Every structure is written in structure tokens, then in C-alpha cells.
Structure 1
Amino acid sequence: MPFKSSRPVSGEEEQMYQNLEVIPIHSEDGTIEHVCLCVYDVTIQASQQQELKRVSQKLEEEHQSQKVLIKKLEDAQGQLIQSEKMASIGQLSAGIAHEINNPVGFITSNLQTLSDYFNSLEKVLKSITQTIGQSKDTALNEACQKILKQGQVDFILEDTAELITESLEGSSRVMSIVKNLKEFSHVDRSEWSYANLENCIESTLKIINNEIKYNITLEKHYAANVPDVFCQPMQINQVLLNILVNASHAIKGEGTITITLQSAGDDFVEIHIRDTGCGIPEEIRERIFEPFFTTKPVGSGTGLGLSVSYGIINKHNGTISVTSEVGKGSEFTIRLPVNPSAEAVDNTDAKAM
């Protein structure tokens, strides 16, 4: 029962909370002659319960915000996978990183602060409960236990701890996805630079993880001492993305994608991407690098992915080729020079279209 307090327990208390227990006193003939009123001051316990509920509610709101952010980010990843133009991917990744990092930062900070608050409140509540439990006042002890049970304090403590853990895990997941997008797009590395192709492959695989994680077995064979290649890393990632997505779409049901990275003499590096998909019929194999040519149903692709990839590799003085057998799968081979010609590097305005 809340009462307006003329003597608050602390400077922060505006009301006193008291439990009122009415005990009838019977006479010898069974009639009630007197009534005993027992009033217990439970202001501190009530305040602690209210604060715990407030923290739990706020934490639940933060947790829901995390779920919304994760859903939006996964949707953005889906859009990124379908994108077939290098510039769009870079801009989208940069926008995601900028828009997501800021709210995730303060959400994570708030969650950590709430965790500290919760730990403090939990310690205080347990200390109060222990102190009352050691009291010789049996009635007070019983009243305290009754309040704790009615307020489901044990459940609130346990559930709040789980909410904190889940929310922090969600925050970590968002930051990890954003990091992968940054590594994939290399928005700060659009110029020519030496790139480790193994890193390019790995960052691209992280982006398409949703496409392959359920039904595709991934095999990777990276040779030792493969030299870095002087290239435009974001464009090479675009090529890898196009080929890997096509490979995953070619596999109906379960299958395998095998990626091999190796040196080809002292001056070239090769990437082989082999799938166990449906394969490409011989009569259309020579046309797959033509603009707007696609074997997918209408509305499922623009037919520019492999054409863009061909243009990018050609601009790097490299080659891209395919071997395929219907019913057994296809293998794409990308061959890049470690150091392309000066003319290729200087021609930075060339468009891979």
C-alpha cells in the first residue's frame, strides 16, 4: 500500500510502501472481539523491484531494436549480393557502415551500462534479502519472502541477465557484419594497390555466407607463398562475388564449391572456382560473357554479371575462362598478372561494362 511519506527513507523516496496485515482475534465463543493490525515498512524492497522492472523493460526495448537492426542489415546484405555493379556495392557498403555503426555504438554502450546497473541492483537486493533473513523478526522475514515471491524477483533477475547477454551478442553480430562489408567493399582502397587475393576471397565468402551455408560444402585450397597482385581490390571482389553467386545458384539441393588459389609461374596468379551444379550446355558456353545474356528466368538476372567480370579482368590484363559439363558442373579460371602493364594502371577511367 503506497502512502504519502512525511519521512522518506532516503532523499530519493517520494512514497513509503507498507504491507498491512489484519489479524482477527477471536473470543472463546468464536466471535471476533478485536482486530490486530500489523504494518510493515517495505519501501526499500518495493523501490528495488520497481527499478528492476524498469531496467528489464528498457533492456527488452534495446533487444528489440537490435533485432530490427539485424533484420535491416541482413536485407541490405541480400541487396548487396544481387548487385552487379561495383560502384553500387561500394556506395551501399559505405552507407551501411555509416548508418549502422553509430546506433550500434550507443546501443552497445547503453547495454554495457545497463549491465553494470543491473549487477549493482542485484547485489543490493540480495544484500537486503540476506539481512532481513538473518533478522529475528520472523514476521518481517515472512513478509519479505512474500513480496519477493509475488514480485517474481528471482525470475526478473534471471531473465534480465539473459536479455543482457542476448542483446550484447546481437550487437557483436551487427558489428561483425558491418566489418565484413567494409572489408569486402574496400571503400578506402578504390585505387590500384597490392592485394592479397586470399583475403579478397575470404571477405567475399563472408558476404555470400547466407547463400551457401545451408546446402553447399565449401572446399578451399590456398597455395603457400602466393604473391600479392597489383589490382583494384574492390573490382576483383566484384568478379569473385558474381562467379560465386552464379555457382551457388547452379547447385540444386546439396553440392560443393571448390576454390583453388595458386601461382602460375613467377608473373601470374590463378583462381579456380569449381561447382557441382547443373553445368552449362556447349551451345551457349561461348555466349555467357556477352552483355545481357542469361540462362536464368525472366526477372531473375540482368545478364550483366559475367560481362562485367570479363571487362574487369580484361582491364587488369588478365583472362577469365570456363570449362563445363552438363550435369556435373562448371569451373571458372581467373588468371591475373602480378604486375599489369603501366597502360592498364594509368587508364583509371576505364569502365568495366
Structure 2
Amino acid sequence: MRIGTRALIILVPVAVLPLVGAGWSAFNVSRRALEDRTRASQVAAARSLAERVSAEIGASLRAAGLAASAMEFGQLSAEERVGALRLVFRQIEGAAAVALLSEEGAQVAAPVYLASPSEEPSLADRPVLGPPDIDAFGRSIPLRAAVQVGKAVGPAHVSGEGDPRVAVAVRARGGAVLAVEFSLARLLPLVAESRLGARGAAAVVDRAGLVVLSSNRGEVASRASRAGSPLVQAALAGNLGALAFEGADRIRRLGASAEVPDLGWVVAVDEPAEDALAESRVLARRTLAAVAIALAVGIALALMATGAMVRPIRALHRGAAALAGGELGHRVEGDDRRDELGDLARGFNAMAAEIERWNRELAQRVEEKTREAREAQDLLLRVQKLAAVGQLGAGVAHEVNNPLAGLLGQVQLLLMQEPTGSPKRAKLESIEGQAKRIREIVERLQRTAEGEEPALAPVELRPLLDDSLARNLGALAEAGVQVVREYGPPLRVFADPPRLTEAFSELVTNARRAMPKGGKLTVGYRSVDGQLAAIHFTDTGEGIAPDIRGRIFEPFFTTKQDWNAKGLGLTMVHQVCEEHHGRVTVESEPGKGATFTVLLPMPQQGALA
């Protein structure tokens, strides 16, 4: 016998007979229980909201305390104090402003806050403050209490935009007081969720009955007073808990209150009694209907119950088959049930999600390892080719330089004998230019062969970039190339300035040659996790075809029509980056320009961003 048939035989008598006998008594008991449950749920909601608000304010106070105890402000210079306050502002989540005061209330360092959205793009979630907001912050700092007891929470206030705020103050090391203003706007959704029913209300008020937080944003912005509410009056008088009262709209309401620990604020939640007890009327109708049709629909209910039991089991069977067939995204329904079948469905879906996550992570790891292996192979090939060029330069340089010097000397002697404008002189000058080009190529080969270890030292990055741009300023202007600098905060890198400047200049030259009809060259840098400096050179040229992108760092490889392009420039850039324990990468699409990125290590004590 299948499980569905067995369940039907059991459920038919169980569903019909008890329902007829217990319907009426259940209604009376349920109404009284509903009233008690409504009061209990209101009290629980008020206490839960009070605890959450206290926890959030307490967490903010602890964050300020940790920041105050971590720094010795008295031993810092004025500039270092501002830097320390900026660090505190970035690290404390939800901070709207930070200030450092003496115990007498004098300003020790300028307050730190976000004056415009563009000032700190990484802090876009922080509120923007104006002078009136800073004045309100200063007035709400609990300085005296912080000096006396070590830490304190100031009175609540609102910003010019109607944003609820609260200031906390903590006595810091060195005799200073660290004050932090926090936005309470993150608690507004929590208050709104605590509202009971569609016509319910929830609010947090201070000891004066003024609204601090509310499910009605208008009350928050205007700091409305709820001192006239019987529920608030009872709570401020110490009578916390459930209360039935008549509101200002002459509607009977049920509510509850709770005190916010450590703050003295009061949480008040209420809703119309009609809404709170609406379930009792629904219960009466449902009970009468159930008794009237119990005998007629008993079998139907049993069938439905049996189906509800069997369907999840069948769904689990189909889900298992789908997973076995490779459909890792398949999920079964019924995970919203609050019974054992729901637990089984949730467990199955959790298992499927975990398998899918493992498969996705495995694919990502395989892709990452493949990319790393490919990059390592490309790097090894570059190094091998550079070594080959070095061996070639070491073997050829001496053999070529001697006859080349003689050839160049003879040409220059002949030039001295030919008058200006002579047909022979033009040919001799061409020979001289080509000979000098050969000498330059040989010199580059010789430098590659020598491979001297550069003297690396911490240097500022910005002057090196400015110097490389200055070297090419005339050529860039003549080519109609616009230069855009996107410099971040000052950074220092380990570098040999002449060698690194030469590499940067070569990248600028390469970008200019990629834009023979003019364009835009963007040069900038940024810090990568405080460990590496990423310097990018982005042009708007024709880009690099995918089939030759992997060869551009090879010696003597070039796509330029210019006779000055020897195919050693990017090879030199790669070699310089290797000497500096860094690397150079390129990203490009045909017709969309190219971006060369140089990654260099930064000193451990780099400049603060």
C-alpha cells in the first residue's frame, strides 16, 4: 500500500470527528488567547526594538572607544592628528563626523567629515554635511559627561536634511576627548519593521517626549512631540508594558512600551484595537463555516492533506534525479513549510546550493590557475627571449662597433669635404643617419646584455611621471595628443629614477605613435591594497590586434611604419619592470585604444592615501 493511501485512511476520521465536537469551544478559547497573544507580541516587539537600538548605539560607542584607546593623540603633531582623525572616520562604520577636543572644549584638530560626494568616492554611503550640521554636532557633544565618566552619549538631533543623528564622546589617551557623530538613519527601517499592522505606529522618544526615531519620517524630521500620548506618558512615568488607551483620533488602540537600556529613551508601539483583534472575527466565521461543512468536506480535506504530504516527497525525488543529471541549479518547492517536510526540503536545497557553490568555485579555481599558468609561461618566454637578446648583444656589440666606428668616421670626413647642397652630401648624410641608428641599436643590445642591477630606493612617483611627460611634451603637442593626468594621493615606490623615467618615457612615446592623427593620453596611478602602485598609460589609438598582443614585448617586434621604431622600446620597458621586481601588462581591443599598466612594489611605510 502506497503512503498516500495509508495517510488517507488515517486522516478521514481524524479530520472530521474532532472538528465537529471542538469547533465552538475552540472559538471561545482562541479569542481569549488572541488577546493575550496580541499584548505579549506588542510587548515583545517594543522590547526587541529597544534592545536593537541600545545595541546599535552601544556598538557605535564601543567603536569610538576602540579608536580613542588605539591612538596617543597628545604625542601627534597637528597634521598627524588630522590624519589620525581621517583614519578613524574611514574605519568607523556609520560615522558622519569626527572631532578631537580638549577637556575644556577647545578644538584640538579640525573636524573630519564628508563635505561633498566627490570628495571621497569610496565613502559614498556616508552623509554629506554642511556648516549648520557641524554646528549641531558641536552643540550635541556630551563633553562634560565624557570627561567625568570616560564615555557618554549626547542628545539626539536631526540634520538639515532631516536625518536623525547622535553624538558620542570618549576620553582618549593624552588628555583629549574623541567625539563621533553617527547617523541613526540605518535604524529607521528597523523601526518601520516594528510597526504593528498597516495602521500601526512605532517610535523611539527621549525623556522630553520628542521623537528620535519613528515609522513616520515626517515625525523624525520635525522632532515631533509625543508627550501627549497616554502610552508615552505612562512609559515616562515608569509604567512600562502593555496598555489600552484612546488616541488623539478617538480610536481605541492597543500598545506597549519599553525602555532603551543605558539611554533613557522609550520605545512605543501601538495599533488600532480593531486591527489587533481582527483575527478573532475571522476566526468566528471560519469556525462556523468549518462546523457547517465538516461532514461534507472531510474526505476532500483528507485528500488535500494527503496530497500536501505526498507532493513534497515526489518533489524531492524529482530534485534528486535532476541533481544526478547535472542540473545543479534545480531547487525543490516546499521549503517554506514549518514541518518536517519543510525541514527536509530546506536541507535538500541547502545541499544543492552547496554542491553548486563547490562546482562554481572549482571552475573559478581552474580558470584562475590556468590564467596564472599562462601568464607564468608568457613571462618565462619573455625572459628567455631577453636572455637571448642579451647573449646576442654581448657577442655582436664588440664586432659591430669597431667597423661601425670606422664607417661613421669615414662618412663624417667625406661630409666635411662636400659643400652644402651637394648631391653627394645628401647621400652621405643618409648613410650617416643609418649608421647612427645601427650604433643606437647596438648600444641598446649591449645594455640588455650587461643587465646591471639597479640601485633601488624609495622615491616619489609623481615627479617621475611628470618628467617623462615633459620629455615628450613637444612631440605630443605636435601630434595633437591631449594629456590627461589622473593622479591619486602621493605614492612612493622602490625605483632607480633614471631607469624608471626612461621606461615611462618609452610608454608615452609608444602611445603617441599609436595616435598619428591625435587623440587623448591618460596617465595616472593608484594604490593596490597598500602593497603595489599601479601606473597606467591609456591611449585612444587603433588598439592592438589579439593575434600580436602576446608578441609586443619581444625584441625587434614592431608594427610601426616609423623608421625610428626599432622594436626594442617595449622590450626595455619589460626589462626595467623586471629589474624593479614588478611587471607590465597590456589590455586592448582593436579600435578602442590600449592600456599599459606597470605594477611596482611600494615601501612598507608608504604615504597614507
TM-score (norm 1): 0.42
State which structure, 1 or 2, has the greater radius of gyration over its C-alpha atoms.
2
TM-score (norm 2): 0.25
